[in-house]
Amino acid sequence: MKKDWIAREMTVEIVVGAFVVMAFLGLAYFTIIISQEAWFRPKYTWVIRFNEVMGLRDGDKVVVRGMPVGKVRKLVLKGGGVCVTVALDQPIEVREGYAARIVATSILGGRYLEIDAGPPGAKPIEKGTLLQGEEALDLMADAAKLVKAARQSLVEEGTLDNLRDTSASLKEIVERVRRGEGTVGRLLSADNTLHDDLSATVASLKRLTTRLENGEGTLGKLFSTDTSLHDDLSSAVASLKNVAQRLDKGEGTLGRLLSSDDRIYKDLEASVASLKNITGKIEKGEGLIGRLLEDDSLYDDVSQAVQELRSWVDDYRETSPVVSFTSVVLGAF
């Protein structure tokens, strides 16, 4: 009996021990699966320096092109910043133009580190180089700053008072419109005077358009189907075109003046030079006209000669009847 009891106890202990071992093995298996840790794979590490990590912790994911490739392993304060060591499950080639940033998963918390390896074809960066991360974007801090700036603008800078004054002004405008004051108020009021004036204006415009359609008046003739005015205008344009062509060919006096032939210009230039020479001689007192303008004695002699000629003509007029009578008498004999 005692041996049977001992055997049963041993069997129970073995079963319990096996169950406990299996439970531990299952717990370890599920822990590895849930944590997604690659325990037996080699790790590829990079060190990235940030000025601010914004609550990044050990164990947070590292993402490349939207895919988790590793985790954050260590954060160390160093040189006025934070050096973050990341362990990657597979190697990545970091090239010039790379970007490393901390991204918030939600506004309630949670962070991951995102790495952009850089544009294809760029020069690779040697392994072990200290990478520089971008400034972290804190949505909550930015939202707090925005709320603070909005509060300062509304309260301290008087924007709220301006909005209140604007609302009061709008209320006053609405009341004036409701009372029928102003142009908009009259348009919305029960007074039909403006409506009647507008109707009369529309009727006048309708009559005017009817006259235009009928070809009445000068403007109506322009819009009518009568082509006489168009033909006259076309004839005038053709005449102007002919005149322009003749001018361009150098025909006529005006055409010769506008042509490239400079003979008239040279003749005119020579005439102007001759006139300039003559006026220069006159100014110097040369010639009869110059002496007349400069020497007063010649003017006096000419004036005296004219006066003597006038006296002789007067004497001749007085003696001409006597001479005529004497000639007639002597001619009879």
Its pTM surpasses 0.85 = no
Compute the average pLDDT of residues 194-205. 80
> What was the pLDDT predicted at 115?
92
CA distance 144 to 129: 36
Q: How sure is the predictor about 248, in pLDDT bands with cuts at 50, 70 and 90? A: confident
Residue-level pLDDT at 72: 92
Question: Over the stretch 94-133, which tens digit does the pLDDT of each residue have?
Answer: 999 999 998 887 766 688 999 999 999 899 999 888 999 9
Domain ranges of the chain: 1-35, 44-137, 192-224
With contact defined as beta carbons under 8 Å apart, do 311 and 317 qualify?
Answer: no
Tokens (6 digits) for 147: 């709320």
Strand partners, 102: 113
Query: CA torsion 86→92→98→99, rounded to 10°?
Result: -40
* Distance, C-alpha 86 to centroid of its chain: 49
Look at residue 23 and tell me whether its pLDDT is greater than 70: yes
pLDDT score recorded for residue 228: 72
Residue 205: pLDDT over 80: yes
Alpha helices in the chain (DSSP H): 2-35, 139-151, 159-178, 182-188, 193-214, 217-223, 228-249, 252-258, 263-284, 287-294, 296-332
